[in-house]
Amino acid sequence: KGMCAQRRGVFVWGHRLSAVGLLTLDGMAASNVIKGSFTTEKFIHFLEHDVLPLCSPYPGPLSVLVMDNACIHHHGEVRNLFGMPVCVT
């Protein structure tokens, strides 16, 4: 009584899942959930098969992609998919 509860042990509930998605002004347009972590190859596969088919040239719908600073988002192969320079600020 009057003390914080403590329990020590390995904290693993199950498999680790990773998710990636394409969020548009109209809602989620594409998503993928995998066991484990996304690698550059898995992220490129998502872009090629789920994202790029939905995109259009600028200034059309879905012509601007915004990504955070995760290293897989800025890999040279990711930039090459778009066939143009990528503005990173």
Residues 53-86: tens digit of each pLDDT: 999 888 888 888 888 888 888 888 888 887 755 5
Residue 30: left (phi > 0), alpha (psi -120 to 50), or beta?
beta
Would the pTM of this model clear 0.85, i.e. be above it? no
Residue pointed to by tokens 């972590």: 37
Q: What is the pLDDT of residues 2-44, one digit of tens each?
A: 788 787 777 667 778 999 999 999 999 999 999 999 999 999 9
